[in-house]
Structure 1
Amino acid sequence: MLFASVSVAGICAEAQTLEQDAAAFGAREAVAAPDLSADGSTVLYLTPGPGAKTVAVTSNLVSGKSATIVSSDGNPESLGACHFVSPTRIVCNFGGLVENTTTGDLIGFNRLVALNTDGGDAKLLGRSESVWDSRLRQNDGYIIDWLDGTDNSVLMSRDYVAEQGKIGTNIVQKKDGLGVDRLDTLTVRGKPVESPRDGAGMYMSDGRGNVRLMAIVGARDSGMLTGRVKYFYRTPHSRDWKPLAESEDYDLQPLAIDAASNQLYMLKKKEGRDALYTVKLDGSLATSLVAENARVDIDDVVRFGGGQRVIGYTFAEEKRKTVYFDPEFRGLASSLSKALPHLPLVEFVDASPDGQKLLVFAGSDNDPGRYYLFDRTAKSLNEAMLARPGLEGRTLATVKPVTIPAADGASIPAYLTLPPGKEAKNLPAVVLPHGGPSARDEWGFDWLAQFLAARGYAVLQPQYRGSAGFGDAWLNENGYRNWRTSIGDITSSARWLSSQGIADPGKLAIVGWSYGGYAALQSAATEPSLYKAAVAIAPVTDLAQLKLDSRNFTNSRLRDRQIGSGPHVAEGSPIKNVTAIQAPVLLVHGDMDANVRYAHSQRMDSALRAAGKSSELLSLKGLDHHLDDGTARAQMLTRIGLLLDRTIGK
């Protein structure tokens, strides 16, 4: 039996000011990307510093002592994740954006750095750059196998760039493309495992140091991606690549290779939804269906321990679920659920190589989550870290899955968050469509929805047609090509709030981020009398411009295909419909956004003002699409709170 001393019930506190709520909910998670040391005694994780700063920290779970290893200031590089290579050596991922001064495009970069756990002896793991490089090296590569952690080595997919224009010497780097090296992270000496190949986009190991899968990404002579991928595999103890499968528009997703069973786990379509299959890598390619769901896509597998064996799979209906193949883990998950009855979202985050010590995350809709160390030998479960300590002791809102009838009779899944202690009757309310559009919300803690609920607003998150995870029919191509259906579902959701008596029909607002911001603006244009305020964070405002924004990138043709051509492009662009908008608009955008360019909000703000509309633009300098800066997020939430208080009241 498992025992834990857990306190998850919120404590009723005095009403907080807008600024206090904005700071508390805008703060970034205190623990991100945790990684457990081989002996299970230490956790390596990222934690936020002031503003956009991120710090890599080790915390000893026995002594409670913590130490800072390295940090980034977010200008331009940011820490992405760190991982133990050995007890004294780690590898960290640094990424960021820089501007191409010729084209004005924002170019992403990624660098892998190895360093000691005291922060010393830092070394870049990517190939050395040369002034003769024939192309830009955006990414060093990625680690495909962390090996056994005994000799500071990793298996790394590395980007090789051929040199050109170099004369007067025979020493010219001619290799080009993605290869795999076994790399000593102390000396950065590499032993070639896979020769670089032009067109190689991905390699996968079996978790035991053997490269077993390769993807060749289709591209035209111009370099533009076609969306077609060819996969090749190896049988055990062979160096020959054999054809595995072809994918069109990424409709096949390899997930993991289980070395013990010598099979690949992958997602592919079955009756319009992603199902989980295994494929034998013994030369027979015998394929078996492992799992399917009649309502939603299977989305991933669960791996565990040395060699990363596959122990289960996951999917999200109203709530996320994990199904374990392994009876031991099925029983363990059941025991943890009983020990943590108020924290139903349980995840095995990491484990020591022997599997005896587990880092476990547990959370819920009204608990941001906490990390535990479970010692299977001692049968002890001890709370180690809080995901958001700044919210500890607050009474947070509960989230309820609901179903909403669309105008054409379809059933729209959604999540309803009500202000703590408030009756679901005639409340001011916010519709909060998600981004993507090929994404979805899930039941659990959502800092933006919780902020709005804390300010007294009911919050509805509709999973409109265009959302991912519910199969191809619900995806409906995407929310740009078929924007009328997506926006129509959002409108039906807003009207449902009023028809059920939950919302005061005169006190509705809409808030969204990315595609959600697009949806907020387009909804305000198509239903001008429905909403009293619209907030758009990093929104797409012009579909034709979105296509042009990709013209210098390899995904240009894929973006063109996603949006399409025809009258729907202008009709579905908020910037072409500013005269219809009546509600006050707040735009929020980072000026280093490579996903949706800052110009989308700049031009929208100018167009609204020119049309005599009420518009504010909050520009956040140096930040990208995700606004990973606690100070900036607090500033944004304060501005949102002021607008909502002024227009729909608490």
Structure 2
Amino acid sequence: RHRRQPCQRHPGQIALIGPFEGLQKVAIYDLASSAPPQIVGMKAANAGMLYWKSDTMLIAVFHANVGGADSRLLDASTRAYAVDTATKKAALLMHDAPSFESNHGGGAVVDLDASDPAHVYLTETDLWDSKQLLDLYSVELASGNAHLVLHGEPGTIAFFTDGFGKVLGRLDQDWDLTDHVVMGGQDVYSYKVKGVDDFCILGLTADGVFAVRKPSASGTMGLYAWTPQAGIARALFEDERYDLAQVIRDERTGRIVGVTWIDDRPRARYFDTRLQHVQDAMEKAFPGQSVEIQSHDAAGAHYVISTDGPKNPPVFSLYTVANSRVDIVQEAYPGLKSQDLGDVRAYPYKARDGQAIQAYLTLPPGKAARDLPLVIFPHGGPESRSSLRFDWWGQYMATRGYAVLQPNYRGSSGYGRDFVRAGDGVWETKVQSDLQDGIDKLVAEGVADPRKICIVGGSYGGYLALAGASFSPHLYRCAESFAGISDLDRLVDEGTTFQSEAASVWRRRIGADREPGKLESASPVRFADKVTIPVLLIHSEKDATIPIQQSRLEDEALRRAGKQAELVVLDGDDHYLEFAATRTRLLTETERFLAKNLGSGR
């Protein structure tokens, strides 16, 4: 299956990423030919991002999680190649940069330079320099050779460029997490970070004005035009109920041309009328589905779009404007049909303290909504959210006969800053009761059988599953954690420092910045003796986001306490489950575990 976004470019080539010979590689198709695609791959690495530089020049960024077999922590390494699709030659970019061989960040493309067909801009931290400064390079595509453009200063974390190779300034960060916008050698604006998302420069608009993300008057995150001299000039997007989700960038200049947000479904709005016309036409053609413009040619004659809905697996298609034709390029799950999948609907409820919670309920196909075995399926993040779109894991459980509830508990993103912060420091208490209150409503309505409830989650959702087993075991018959967090103290400590932005964010979210001992009191690994239900732990061996040690520690603690625990290690994959084989293993282990503890739902 092709998980990531394809890119399309005149005169009739499409590049997309998919599984080939055990790795994620790039397949370049000539739409005018029936010949097999040109395959571009890198040994022991997966393709992750694609950029078309010209009609025949593609930049492909590959990534791998590296580290010794016994390392507790892995690091994400990136490399970028320039691929000439006409000559079928590829050049490794930045290969001659000072510390390229030792540096894991050699694939940081920051500016495609739409004015120069022969060069792009990348950044690299010079590890051999005692100051380890972030430097900006102009890189020749034909050879991959790097030419230093600008040294950063101590604390530089980013450069601002205009999409045409012009450096506008840089962003420096102090030890106390104060960010400084530096232009013309002058500090023109400063703001505190400390894990509080009150101000963030996201880039330039099409007319060259800075766009910043900040809270609106209603507390939701909006997008605003901004200058260092005058401050906020105007609102580009704001909604009194929902946050800005992402900005949409022009694929050639990187400038911001639109925004997305989520009510129950993902929505998109473009500042460019031509792009908005295409978005409107595709939403009309695919009612009830989410539509994204993934790529288009320079003339605006052809567009690659993706569509998906709660019962519609993702499909990538080519839209031709001249004849309004839509041709399927790739189906992510060609074997799945909407009529075989579970119905999904919004399921709002009130938490016990009156907090409104929006959730989504998937019902098993062909079964009455009565006395069903239930899986509570909290999302990861925690600053993420569930929505009405295709969920492969949730639908798999539903097609096995289980009702699936996905609550946007307090701390979820999308509903404003106050709702996000309402989750800080209450991971093991109010967040858990938010889940319980959704269960109680389903039980009261007769939809769920209170004797057959399991909690399943991944990443932060995996933490919630382990916390449920540790702090609320009476609610559940079983708990499954994929890549979950068990030891919060270790999570904050490993790979960070107390003053780092990452550590600051985690300490605030957990509540450790206000309550001594919180890292310990909210860690499931310290309460293994309280667990009374079977626990399934699944973790990818090459996970660089949440180290596999988190699951190993929980497994050891549960076994020492004489509890029912099982650890399944997924070989060769990472936190995001890029391969069909490991996703299939996850699903089959989930089905086995649920059937054993809840009974077969079919």
**1:129, distance to aligned residue in structure 2 (A):** 6.1
**1:161, distance to aligned residue in structure 2 (A):** 3.9
Kept in 1: contact 2:310–2:390 (CA 8 A): yes
Instruction: Report the AA paired with residue 61 of structure 2.
Output: N
Number of matched pairs: 592
**1:141, distance to aligned residue in structure 2 (A):** 4.8
Kept in 1: contact 2:469–2:531 (CA 8 A): yes
Q: Structure 2 vs 1, CA of residues 509 and 31 (structure 1 numbering), >3 Å: closer, same or farther? A: closer
Instruction: Report the AA paired with residue 634 of structure 1.
Output: T
Q: C-alpha separation between the residues in 2 aligned to 1:307 and 1:97?
A: 29
**1:530, distance to aligned residue in structure 2 (A):** 1.4
Q: C-alpha separation between the residues in 2 aligned to 1:84 and 1:61?
A: 16
Show the counterpart of 2:449. 504
Show the counterpart of 1:332. 278
Q: Deviations over 1:240-260 (max 9, x none)?
A: 66614524234322223124x
Q: How big is the alpha-carbon RMSD for the aligned residues of Structure 1 and Structure 2?
A: 2.9
Q: C-alpha separation between the residues in 2 aligned to 1:57 and 1:304?
A: 22
Show the counterpart of 1:590. 540
Kept in 2: contact 1:267–1:299 (CA 8 A): no
Q: 1:84 aligns with which of 31, 47, 52?
A: 52
Q: Structure 2 vs 1, CA of residues 407 and 211 (structure 1 numbering), >3 Å: closer, same or farther? A: same
Show the counterpart of 1:200. 156
Q: C-alpha separation between the residues in 1 aligned to 2:227 and 2:97?
A: 40
Determine which structure has greater relative contact order: mean sequence separation of CA pairs < 8 Å that are 6+ residues apart, divided by chain length.
1
Moved more, 183-192 or 420-429: 183-192
Kept in 2: contact 1:361–1:369 (CA 8 A): yes
Show the counterpart of 2:170. 214
Q: C-alpha separation between the residues in 1 aligned to 2:552 and 2:155?
A: 37
Secondary structure of the corresponding residue to residue 386 of structure 2: coil
Show the counterpart of 2:212. 266
Q: C-alpha separation between the residues in 2 aligned to 1:568 and 1:176?
A: 34
Kept in 2: contact 1:400–1:417 (CA 8 A): yes
Q: Deviations over 1:337-368 (max 9, x none)?
A: 222235x2111111112222211112211111
Q: C-alpha separation between the residues in 1 aligned to 2:451 and 2:575?
A: 32
Q: Does 2:200 match 1:253? A: yes
Secondary structure of the corresponding residue to residue 368 of structure 1: strand
Q: Does 2:365 match 1:420? A: yes
Q: Deviations over 1:605-646 (max 9, x none)?
A: 222222222111102233332232321221221111111112
Show the counterpart of 2:31. 61
Q: C-alpha separation between the residues in 1 aligned to 2:126 and 2:457?
A: 40
Q: C-alpha separation between the residues in 1 aligned to 2:168 and 2:77?
A: 27
Kept in 2: contact 1:605–1:615 (CA 8 A): yes
Instruction: Report the AA paired with residue 593 of structure 2.
Output: L
Q: 1:456 aligns with which of 392, 401, 415?
A: 401
Q: C-alpha separation between the residues in 2 aligned to 1:100 and 1:306?
A: 38
**1:403, distance to aligned residue in structure 2 (A):** 0.6
Q: Structure 2 vs 1, CA of residues 34 and 538 (structure 1 numbering), >3 Å: closer, same or farther? A: same
Show the counterpart of 2:525. 575
**1:455, distance to aligned residue in structure 2 (A):** 0.7
Instruction: Report the AA paired with residue 59 of structure 1.
Output: Y
Instruction: Report the AA paired with residue 323 of structure 1.
Output: R
Q: Deviations over 1:474-533 (max 9, x none)?
A: 112645554311111111122222112111111111100111111011112222221111
Q: Does 2:137 match 1:181? A: yes
Q: C-alpha separation between the residues in 2 aligned to 1:286 and 1:480?
A: 32
Instruction: Report the AA paired with residue 546 of structure 2.
Output: V
Secondary structure of the corresponding residue to residue 404 of structure 2: strand
1:103-118 alignment runs, 5 A limit? 104-117=72-85
Secondary structure of the corresponding residue to residue 53 of structure 2: strand
Q: 2:4 aligns with which of 32, 44, 52?
A: 32
Show the counterpart of 1:46. 17
Q: C-alpha separation between the residues in 2 aligned to 1:322 and 1:626?
A: 25
**1:316, distance to aligned residue in structure 2 (A):** 0.9
Q: Deviations over 1:204-244 (max 9, x none)?
A: 3333332334211233xxxxxx44322235xxxxx666614
Q: C-alpha separation between the residues in 2 aligned to 1:135 and 1:339?
A: 49
Moved more, 400-409 or 58-67: 58-67
Q: Does 2:265 match 1:293? A: no
Kept in 2: contact 1:258–1:309 (CA 8 A): yes
Q: Structure 2 vs 1, CA of residues 636 and 212 (structure 1 numbering), >3 Å: closer, same or farther? A: same
Q: C-alpha separation between the residues in 2 aligned to 1:631 and 1:102?
A: 24
Kept in 1: contact 2:112–2:253 (CA 8 A): no
Identity %: 27
Instruction: Report the AA paired with residue 42 of structure 1.
Output: Q
Show the counterpart of 1:491. 436
**1:407, distance to aligned residue in structure 2 (A):** 1.2
Secondary structure of the corresponding residue to residue 248 of structure 2: strand
Moved more, 62-71 or 400-409: 62-71
Show the counterpart of 1:627. 577
Instruction: Report the AA paired with residue 75 of structure 2.
Output: I
**1:457, distance to aligned residue in structure 2 (A):** 0.8
Moved more, 543-552 or 99-108: 99-108
Q: C-alpha separation between the residues in 1 aligned to 2:102 and 2:566?
A: 38
Show the counterpart of 2:562. 612
Kept in 2: contact 1:135–1:161 (CA 8 A): no
Show the counterpart of 1:345. 290
Q: C-alpha separation between the residues in 2 aligned to 1:126 and 1:633?
A: 34
**1:390, distance to aligned residue in structure 2 (A):** 3.4
Q: Deviations over 1:440-476 (max 9, x none)?
A: 1222001110110111111000111111222222112
Show the counterpart of 1:17. none
Moved more, 469-478 or 120-129: 120-129
Q: Does 2:111 match 1:140? A: no
**1:432, distance to aligned residue in structure 2 (A):** 0.3
Q: C-alpha separation between the residues in 2 aligned to 1:50 and 1:640?
A: 26
Unaligned runs of 5+ in 2: none
TM-score normalised by the chain length of structure 2: 0.90
Instruction: Report the AA paired with residue 228 of structure 1.
Output: T
Show the counterpart of 2:66. 98
